Amino acid sequence: MEHSLRDVAGGIAAAVAGVAVGDVVAALTRPDAAPILVVGTQVIDLTPTPVKEWAIAQFGTADKPILVGSVAAVTLVAAAAAGILARRHLWTAAGVFVALGAVAALAALLRPGAQFIDAIPSAATAVVAIAVLVLLHRGIGGRSRAAGPVTAGDGTTRRTLLLSAAVILVAAGVETAARRIASRRTTPADVVLPIAKDVPRPLPEGVEARGITPFRTGNAEFYRVDTRLSLPTVDIDTWRLTIDGDVGRLVTLSFEDLAAMPLIERDITLTCVSNEVGGRYVGGARWLGVRLSDVLDRADIRRSSADQILSTDVAGMTISTPLSIALDGRDSMIAIGMNGEPLPREHGFPARLIVPGLYGFVGATKWITRMTLTTYARQNAYWTKRGWATDAPIKPSSRIDTPRPFETVRSGMVTVGGIAWAQDSGGVAAVEVSIDDAPWQTVTLGPTAGQDYWRQWFLRWKAAPGRHTIAARAVAANGSTQSATRATPFPDGSSGIQRVVVTVA
């Protein structure tokens, strides 16, 4: 009994030591190629989209710990088995670690843009695990002294157990160091942002009334929509943005290169095509970045026949953006900052595309790493293949934040309010409200921060007891009014008028 405990402990100590060393090597070279992490990430990336969508619906997007934990658990079970195997077949047990290392190395090498060095952390893991295993069995385990099956006395067993425990302890320390080193290269908080020269005036305070969405959305509150189960770990030191395809010059920019270019900062409201009328998939932030036109100029696209920018993220996911729209003079940018901070990992660290006026799925590529100048005839992006529109301007829309649907409010003066946006239609010129189908009346608007940004609105309503229906619609500066025609988000964005039913008591 004690023998098998010793063997299991030996196998686990070998694996833990190997992984810790592999993680240190990764932290110093390619933090995103750490052995356990890279297998977990690869499993996620290789998961078929329908399964992924199902999993996102079931568990939300916070299940990376589950996946990485499962990979770690499987590794530990295999390591324990190897430990038991090692007593009689040391080199077969070593083979188990070779196999585990090979799986991790393969996972690292199969990633888009992988380099040969991505396999080194996994190789180091296997080498160290085997070394520890051999050391425990040959060096101290008594194998060298006793021929044939191990007949070591209790003293040896205890010594091996203690040694395994010591190895695990040291490995834990090494692992902590590895995390600290890796986090310096993959954590937004550790990035120092340059300061933009071209900055809008400070964002006005905005309307502060209970229930009305704040004028600026905090990074932690900003909606998140993407196809990922887990957030990619991107190493800022090795990250590159490549501009290729039909270009005059192939360009590769590091984060430092980007940050050294002229920077702009802009208030832009991002909207998801999947947002239902009245939905939450919309947010306003101040983005810091490099003008897309400046980036593309470096690649010299004057003679390009491209009609789209096919952008690719670090995991190979693609988004296409109509080139002529992106470059029509709007403030399209490669953003590296959000509300004065480096991009949060949820929102595309270290860089993303922002194209004002287009829904996110055609203009807001997060974790961007490549922009390929090509044509819609030649190449299709992720959502295009799934039937979504290629040209998807944001439709003018408004949202009633307060009162809430089916809320009961006291009779008297009631604040009705919310936000409205019309980024592709010149901005919000007015918001109109109709209560119980009375004629539309214009309401009070909050301050403006430009056409690309939403506006708050409110109305003081003298509410009489009974059931009432409140409807709101946005009127854009170009004269268009929010459409009353109901449309589902698929394929180019929802439309219709939101109606909120309330009881006044």
Ligand X SMILES: Nc1nc2c(c(=O)[nH]1)N[C@H]1C(S)=C(S)[C@@H](COP(=O)(O)O)O[C@H]1N2
**Residues within the interface to ligand X (CB under 6 A):** 222-227, 270, 272, 313, 317, 319, 347, 360-361, 364-367
- Three-state SS for 265? strand
- Residue 114: φ, ψ to 5°: -70, 150
Taking CB within 5 to 8 Å according to partner kind, which of Mo ion, ligand X, none is near residue 22? none
Stretch that binds Mo ion, among 137-145, 165-173, 251-259, 267-275 (CB under 5 A): 267-275
Could you say which residues in the range 343-382 bind Mo ion, by CB under 5 A?
A: 360-361
CA 278 – CA 276 distance, rounded (Å): 6
Looking up tokens 């310096």, which residue turns up?
184
Q: How far is the CB of 458 from ligand X (least distance, A)?
A: 25
Per-residue binding letters, 395-434, with Mo ion (x by CB under 5 A) = ----------------------------------------
CA 150 – CA 141 distance, rounded (Å): 8
Q: How far is the CB of 40 from ligand X (least distance, A)?
A: 18
Q: Is the CB of 359 or the CB of 453 nearer to Mo ion? A: 359
Do the beta carbons of residue 504 and residue 470 sit within 8 Å? no
In the complex, residue closest to ligand X by CB = 360
Length in residues, the chain = 505
Taking CB within 5 to 8 Å according to partner kind, which of Mo ion, ligand X, none is near residue 131? none
* Diameter of the chain measured on Cα atoms: 98
β 408-409/498-504 pair status: parallel
Q: How far is the CB of 391 from ligand X (least distance, A)?
A: 15
Q: Is the CB of 63 or the CB of 300 nearer to ligand X? A: 63
Q: Count Cβ atoms within 10 A of the Cβ of residue 493 and give its class: 0-12 exposed, 13-18 middle, 19 or more buried.
A: buried
* Contacts of 229 by beta carbon, 8 Å cutoff, 6+ apart: 44, 47, 52, 55, 56, 61, 63, 64, 67
Q: How far is the CB of 278 from ligand X (least distance, A)?
A: 17
Taking CB within 5 to 8 Å according to partner kind, which of ligand X, Mo ion, none is near residue 223? ligand X
Q: Is the CB of 157 or the CB of 397 nearer to ligand X? A: 397
Q: Is the CB of 222 or the CB of 457 nearer to ligand X? A: 222
Q: Is the CB of 75 or the CB of 365 nearer to ligand X? A: 365
Neighbours of 256 (CB within 10 A): 10
Do the beta carbons of residue 484 and residue 498 sit within 8 Å? no
Taking CB within 5 to 8 Å according to partner kind, which of Mo ion, ligand X, none is near residue 224? ligand X
Could you say which residues in the range 207-226 bind Mo ion, by CB under 5 A?
A: 225
Q: How far is the CB of 156 from ligand X (least distance, A)?
A: 55
C-alpha distances out from residue 354 to 326, 455, 476, Å = 9, 19, 21
H-assigned helices in 248-290:
255-259
CA 453 – CA 470 distance, rounded (Å): 24
Stretch that binds Mo ion, among 56-64, 106-114, 261-269, 271-279 (CB under 5 A): 271-279
Q: What is the DSSP string of 438-470?
A: PPPEE-EE-----TTS-EEEEEEEEEPSEEEEE
Pick from 272, 282, 381, 400: which binds Mo ion (CB under 5 A)? 272
Q: Is the CB of 15 or the CB of 272 nearer to ligand X? A: 272
Radius of gyration of the chain (CA): 28
Q: How far is the CB of 222 from ligand X (least distance, A)?
A: 6
Do the beta carbons of residue 117 and residue 157 sit within 8 Å? no
- Three-state SS for 217? coil
SS (H, E, C) 72-112: HHHHHHHHHHHHHHHCCCHHHHHHHHHHHHHHHHHHHHCCC
Q: Is the CB of 224 or the CB of 499 nearer to ligand X? A: 224
Taking CB within 5 to 8 Å according to partner kind, which of ligand X, Mo ion, none is near residue 457? none
Per-residue binding letters, 84-113, with Mo ion (x by CB under 5 A) = ------------------------------
Taking CB within 5 to 8 Å according to partner kind, which of Mo ion, ligand X, none is near residue 367? ligand X
Q: How far is the CB of 383 from ligand X (least distance, A)?
A: 8
Taking CB within 5 to 8 Å according to partner kind, which of ligand X, Mo ion, none is near residue 424? none
CA 45 – CA 68 distance, rounded (Å): 13
- Which tokens is 488 given? 């589902």
Q: Is the CB of 36 or the CB of 273 nearer to Mo ion? A: 273
Taking CB within 5 to 8 Å according to partner kind, which of Mo ion, ligand X, none is near residue 235? none
In the complex, residue closest to Mo ion by CB = 272
| Residues lying near Mo ion in the complex (CB under 5 A) | 225, 272-273, 360-361
